[in-house]
Chain A
Amino acid sequence: MSKSNTIAPRDTAARNFGTVLKELDWRRYVIYIGFVVVFIFFAILLRDQGFLSPNNLLNIFRQTATITVIAVGMTYVIACAEIDLSVGSVAGLSSVCTAMALSQFGLVPGILAGLAVGLVVGSINGALVSLLGIPSFLVTLGMLGIAVGVAQWITASAPQPILNDTFNTLFGSGNFGPVPGLVVWSAIFVAIGAVVLNRTRFGRQVLATGGNRNAADFTGINTKRIKFQVLLISAMAASVAGMLYAGRLQSGRFQWGSGDELSAIAAVILGGTSLFGGFGSIIGTLFGALLIGLINNGLILAGLDSSQQQVVRGAIIILAVAMARKK
């Protein structure tokens, strides 16, 4: 499985490259192997259920889009050695606020309302973590309850229908040319997320802060600001995901996104981002999310009911992470 076996040590340079590859620890790339294995497995097992049909494959992308968007933001948080448990609730609250503002004031205020949810929640999370030094696990656990509670409260638990076609087309229901809008959204998030994390000063500083906050401080990095920013990014991404739920399902509901924090965290960890911070891979996260989507889709096609799906999905995630950890 390891690539280094196939490289013949022709000269020193090649041998050095070989040892580098060996030490690069392929465990971080286990997600791509896992993805291919699961894909082939389903392709053979479910060939009669239409697993390989273009429509089904597009469906997998479509169903994964919101998790992908959330997980891109989550990658920053986890790479920075923090966690954000409030993302699912933020998505729900954002879907509700967008729907309500849409019906009252129109398209642009609706979108702004959704983004404002991310801005406000992210700022509160970030401020509590970076300024007061409260662990992000506790802050966002509390926020998980608060956000979903507010969403349920202001709607009196009722779904908020969205009748604005422009919004629905733009956020999830429509296509851009032949490509489903949801796929475009996740592609945009992954592309920007990957470039910013790998190729900008901010991205490096996030990784350095997650890798050794003390050393980052001594290097002149404002680590408080970095912690604030990653939590803001995560909440903003979650609020966009909430609008994608709203557009695809043409309504805002407090339940949208509930439980997504766990799928997103699983996608990030599967993708090779270190739970202890310091390393992050957005492309890995994308494949982590796709793997989860693949599994969900395959299990449904295989005819498992939802309780069985949950058991199998949990087992596969544990297995995949265990493989990624094994030396």
Chain B
Amino acid sequence: MNTADNVVEMRSISKGFNGVSVLKDVSFDVRKGEVHALAGGNGAGKSTLMKILQGVYQADAGEILIGGKPAAINSIQDAKAAGIGMVFQEFSLVPSLTVAQNIFLAAEPLGRGGLIDDRTAVKRAREVFSEMEVDVDPRAEVSRLGTAYWQLTEIAKALAQNAQVLIMDEPTASLARHESEALFELIDRLKQRGISIIYISHRMDEVYRLADRITILRDGRHLLTAPLTDVTPEQIVEGIVGKKIEGQLSYRARDRVDHDGAPLLEVRGLNAGNRVRDVSFTLRPGEILGLAGLMGSGRTELARALFGIDQLDSGDVLLRGKKVNLASPQQAINAGVALIPEDRRAQGLVLEHSVQDNLLLPLLGQIQRGPLLDGAKGKALSASLIKRFAVKVAHPNRPVRLLSGGNQQKVVIAKWLGTDPDILILDEPTAGVDIGTKSEILDMIRELASAGKAVIVISSEYPELLAVSDRVLVLKDGSIIRDIPRSEIADEEYLQLAVQGV
């Protein structure tokens, strides 16, 4: 392959932190107008490699060529000047400013007398959006827009700075399905205009839908680069995980569901806010119930209501046939309900606190001796949770922030399972988690159900939902529109149509 076709070429990059080698002799290149998927487990070195390209870190060894010429990228400014743009996973926008103000932040067009010319900014922002063929009002305040628009603003911001290469890290993580589809179409259009995209995602279907080539990293080493036409999904997963994963993502019937037994949870005519409307269902011990629906269909809100975060307007919740009042999370926990929230960083963890402190937070009652907490008992309890859930930590006293996404998620799950709940609700339990950890989490869910617990799983990923659920409830506008046993769901497409309300 001719080097001149490569807009970006990273050669033999090595990087270490505090003597720990994170990248070893990794080479990576991107051609003009291609979508190049970058895959690997958490900690494989993807983000370090991308941070080197963005100028956040400097490589210890190796070189970077931009458009065939060696380039020194020592700062984020250098990377921007070289045409590298980043669409941040955690959006880098100032919510209180308008779309146009954000797009031209720190590069505002100046008018007479050196004052900012907002009118030109709005005009140029409009031009960028019309090239992208999307409809966004440049004068709207960012905080008033939904996540999909934030992302479009991020992309416009990079394009306005003449980015030739866009790095997208899990861009669909916070998007609903139709929004994702719109993003994919936008990526196709950008491709046609000669813009290259480095696409980082754990979702296999997206990689196959979009990417021309894939590069897999494992443990800081380059494993393979190949056109997607030459590799099977199984090969990719095996490459990422380092071993064969069989059947983890396919449904296995468990015999424990007692369909005639007394329900563990019974919900009758539940109303909460305007996102949960007249919801009724039952949940039996050993059963895994999937909640499917579009973003905004009321899945998360139903979970929040059952966990006592949002107040119920009307309706009854019965646990083991007894009416319970779930007015606060504390009451829900006491009743045996646990919720793994959808946003682990914002809702599940105190990031700056240690792994141990996070694990023990809902379990403080268990380690109390008189009025004081028993330090030794706490240490032992957290150690046993870390072991039981195979959380990879260097030391339980180190901040949970330092863990990879998958391990952070395991901490959240471990923290809640330590309370030994009867009913476990998981909201997007594998978002942003690598495939290896994902299969571990799905296995964990199956084991819990087999142990007689009742589980509710909310997921936007249909393969995952179908892999574990015994029954799927489809929500739309806050109401249950379908209640389908797993055996009646032939494939993903069937479920997708049900969700669309067809």
User: Is B329 among interface residues, defined by CB-CB distance under 8 A?
Assistant: yes
B347 touches A16 (CB 8 A): no
Q: Is the CB of A204 within 8 A of B351?
A: no
A-B contact pairs, 6 of them (CB 8 A): A200-B373, A201-B364, A217-B329, A218-B339, A218-B347, A220-B362
Instruction: Check if A214 sits within 8 Å of B353, measured CB to CB.
Output: no
CB-based contact B346/A215 at 8 Å:
yes
Q: Does B436 contact A (CB under 8 A)?
A: no
B329, B373, B394: the one within 8 Å of A19 (CB):
B394
Does A16 lie within 8 Å of B329, measured CB to CB? no
CB within 8 Å for A222 and B328 given contacts A212-B351, A215-B346: yes
The answer for the CA separation of A211 and B399 in the assembled complex, in Å, is: 12
* Chain B: minimal CB distance from A21 (Å): 11
Residue from A23, A195, A215, A221 having most chain B Cβ neighbours under 10 A: A215
Determine whether A208 belongs to the interface, using a CB cutoff of 8 Å to chain B.
Answer: yes
A19 → chain B closest CB, angstroms: 7
Among B365, B372, B397, point to the contact of A195 (Cβ < 8 A): B372
Query: In the bound complex, how far is the Cα of B353 from the Cα of A279, in angstroms?
Result: 8
Q: How far is the CA of A279 from the CA of B354 in the complex (A)?
A: 11
Tell me, rounded to whole Å, the shortest Cβ–Cβ distance linking B129 to chain A. Answer: 33
B423 to chain A, nearest CB (A): 14
What are the interface flags for B301-324 relative to A under an 8 Å C-beta threshold, 1 for contact and 0 otherwise? 000000101000000000000000
Given contacts A212-B346, A218-B329, contact A207 B353 (CB under 8 A): yes
Q: Is the pair A220, B18 in contact by a Cβ cutoff of 8 Å?
A: no
Chain B contacts for A215, CB-based, 8 A = 346-350
The answer to whether B395 has its CB under 8 Å from any CB of chain A is yes
Q: For residue B20, give the distance in angstroms from its CB to the closest CB of chain A.
A: 9
A199 within 8 A of B: yes
CB neighbours of B360 from chain A (8 A): 204
- B353 touching A208 by the CB < 8 A rule? yes
**A212-238 residues at the B interface, CB under 8 angstroms:** 212, 214-222
B250 within 8 A of A: no
**Bound Cα distance from A216 to B333, whole angstroms:** 13
Indicate if the CB atoms of A218 and B350 lie closer than 8 Å: no
Q: Which residues on B sit within 8 Å (CB–CB) of A211?
A: 350-353
Contacts of A278 in B (CB 8 A): 350, 352-353
Alpha-carbon separation in the docked complex, A9 to B179 (Å): 52
Contact A199 B373 (CB under 8 A): yes
* Dominant SS among interface residues on chain A: helix
**A residues whose Cβ falls under 8 Å from a Cβ of B:** 16, 19-20, 23, 195, 199-201, 204-205, 207-208, 211-212, 214-222, 278-279
- CB neighbours (8 Å) of B394 from chain A are 16, 19
Q: Which residues on A sit within 8 Å (CB–CB) of B368?
A: 201
Cβ-closest chain B residue relative to A211: B350
Residue of A nearest to B344 (CB): A215
Q: State the Cβ distance, A189 to closest chain B Cβ, in Å.
A: 17
Of A216, A220, A279, which contacts B352 at CB under 8 A? Answer: A279
Shortest beta-carbon distance from B431 to chain A in Å: 16
- Cβ of A76 to closest chain B Cβ, rounded Å: 16
Shortest CB–CB separation between residue B22 and chain A, in angstroms? 15
Interface residues of B (CB under 8 A from A): 18, 307, 309, 328-330, 332-333, 339, 341, 346-353, 357, 360-362, 364-365, 368, 371-373, 375, 394-395, 397-399, 415
A27 → B minimal CB distance (Å): 14
Give Cα A211 to B352, complex, Å. Answer: 7
Docked pose: A279 CA to B394 CA in angstroms: 21
In whole angstroms, what is the CA distance A200 to B399 when docked?
A: 20
Besides A215-B349, A220-B329, 16 other CB < 8 A contacts?
A16-B395, A20-B397, A20-B398, A200-B371, A200-B373, A201-B368, A204-B373, A207-B350, A211-B353, A215-B350, A217-B347, A218-B307, A218-B341, A219-B329, A220-B328, A221-B361
Q: Is the CB of A201 within 8 A of B309?
A: no
**CB of B256, distance to nearest CB on chain A (Å):** 29
- Minimum distance in angstroms from A74 CB to a CB of chain B: 20
A-side contacts of B347, CB under 8 Å? 214-215, 217-218
* Chain A residues in 8 Å Cβ range of B371: 200
Question: Complex Cα distance A215/B340, Å?
Answer: 11
Q: Let me know if A204 and B361 touch, CB within 8 A.
A: yes
Q: Are A220 and B350 in contact (CB under 8 A)?
A: no
B364 touching A218 by the CB < 8 A rule?
A: no
* Chain B residues, Cβ within 8 Å of A23: 398-399
Closest to B304 in A: A218
Residues of the A chain whose Cβ atoms lie less than 8 Å from the Cβ of B373: 199-201, 204
> With contacts A217-B329, A219-B361 known, is A208 near B18, CB below 8 A?
no
A212 and B309 contact, CB distance less than 8 A: no
Nearest CB of chain A from residue B353's CB, rounded to whole Å: 5
Q: Are A220 and B332 in contact (CB under 8 A)?
A: yes
Which of A204, A205, A218 has the largest number of chain B CB atoms within 10 A?
A: A218
Which of B352, B365, B395, B398 has the most chain A CB atoms inside 10 A of its CB?
B352
A218 to B348 alpha-carbon distance, docked (Å): 7
* CB <8 Å contact, B395 and A218: no
Q: Which residues does chain A contribute within 8 Å of B329, judged by CB atoms? A: 217-221
Task: Kindly list chain B residues whose C-beta atoms are within 8 Å of the C-beta of A214.
Answer: 346-347
The answer to whether B349 touches A212, judged by C-beta atoms less than 8 angstroms apart, is yes
Cα of A279 to Cα of B307 in the assembled complex, Å: 28
3 tightest CB-CB pairs across the interface, nearest first? A211-B350, A220-B329, A201-B364
B398 contacts which chain A residues (CB < 8 A)?
Answer: 20, 23
Nearest CB on B from A212, distance (A): 4
Q: Please, which residues of chain A bring their CB within 8 A of the CB of B18?
A: 19
Q: List the A side residues contacting B352 at CB < 8 Å.
A: 211, 278-279
Which of A23, A208, A219 has the largest count of B CB atoms less than 10 A from its CB? A219
In the assembled complex, which residues on chain B have CB atoms less than 8 Å from the CB atom of A200?
371-373
Contact pick for A201, options B341, B346, B365, CB 8 Å? B365
- Docked CA distance A146–B351 (Å): 38
Q: Which among A214, A217, A279 has the greatest number of chain B C-beta atoms within 10 A?
A: A214
Rounded to whole angstroms, the CA-CA distance of A214 and B344 in the bound complex is 10
CB pair B364–A204 under 8 Å, yes or no, is yes
Q: How far is the CB of A80 from chain B (nearest CB, A)?
A: 12
Complex Cα–Cα for A319 and B183 (A)? 50
Q: Measured between C-beta atoms, what is the minimum distance from A165 to chain B in Å?
A: 36
Smallest CB separation, A156 vs chain B (Å): 45
Cα–Cα distance between A208 and B346 once the two chains are bound (Å): 12
Cβ of B299 to closest chain A Cβ, rounded Å = 16
Closest Cβ–Cβ distance, residue B317 to chain A (whole Å): 17
Instruction: Give the docked Cα–Cα distance between A279 and B349 (Å).
Output: 15
Q: A220 to B330, Cβ gap below 8 A?
A: yes
